[in-house]
Amino acid sequence: MEIINLQTKAQLDIYMNPQRQSLLRILEKSKMPRTPKDLSLELGVSASSIQYHLKKLESLGLVYMDHTANIRGITAKYYAPTRVTVRIGGDKEDTLINERVALSRNLVADVLDNTISTIFRPNQEKCCGDVKTGVAHLTSNQAEELQTIIHEYLEKVNTPSKDTEPWEYALMYYRIKEKQ
């Protein structure tokens, strides 16, 4: 899977926009490409605003125009998410650290909010999903192996099909440095 590294303030600003994050989430959950008009109805904003945001996301390589179709004499453009991994540069030490931290907080908070509203709803049929926390004790080789397993598995399941359902996740891990 291709990795897109967000390295500049302009790239981070494009990606951090809440409207664009909503667009990406909708497109990633969809099994079929969507039109700006369809997306505008779902988000409650104008189709021209959606087109503007799609162009910005397209400039980063996060969405692409899948195809066009003639609908009652109008050419409709259908957009789909590019199946990529976005790396926001958490390993970088630069002047954009505050933007990177804010973006990380927002991305994880969105997934957490969706998780809570899905798996902890009262009077709801049993739902699949969970929150797990803990500490794993790994050698350097095991840590690399775990990262490879996660990356390969997620790459294998990142494309929707008629037999699949979307599952959202926020996976975080880091090496704990013991206090000296």
Model pLDDT for residues 133-167, shown as the tens digit of each residue: 999 999 999 999 999 999 899 989 988 988 999 99
Going by pLDDT thresholds of 50, 70 and 90, the confidence category of residue 177 is confident
Q: SS3 of 71, please?
A: strand
The number of beta carbons lying within 10 Å of the beta carbon of residue 60 is 17
Choosing among 1.10.10.10, 3.30.930.10, 2.60.40.10, 3.10.640.10, the CATH entry for 2-156 is 1.10.10.10
**Helix orientation angle between 18-29 and 36-43, rounded to the nearest 10 degrees:** 110
**DSSP secondary structure, 105-134, as one string:** HHHHHHHHHHHHHHHT-TT-----------
Closest C-alpha to 8, from 122, 127, 95:
95
Say if CB 48 and CB 61 are below 8 A apart. Answer: no
Say if CB 169 and CB 153 are below 8 A apart. Answer: no
pLDDT of 33 > 90? The answer is: yes
pLDDT of 12 > 70? The answer is: yes
Model pLDDT for residues 50-99, shown as the tens digit of each residue: 999 999 999 999 999 999 999 889 899 999 999 988 988 766 678 898 88
The number of beta carbons lying within 10 Å of the beta carbon of residue 19 is 14
Q: Tokens 């303030």 appear where?
A: 9
Distance CA 168, CA 104 (A): 15
Question: Residue 93: phi, psi to the nearest 5?
Answer: -115, 95
Say if CB 16 and CB 101 are below 8 A apart. Answer: no
Pairing of strands 2-5, 74-81: unpaired
Going by pLDDT thresholds of 50, 70 and 90, the confidence category of residue 180 is low
Chain mean pLDDT for the chain: 90
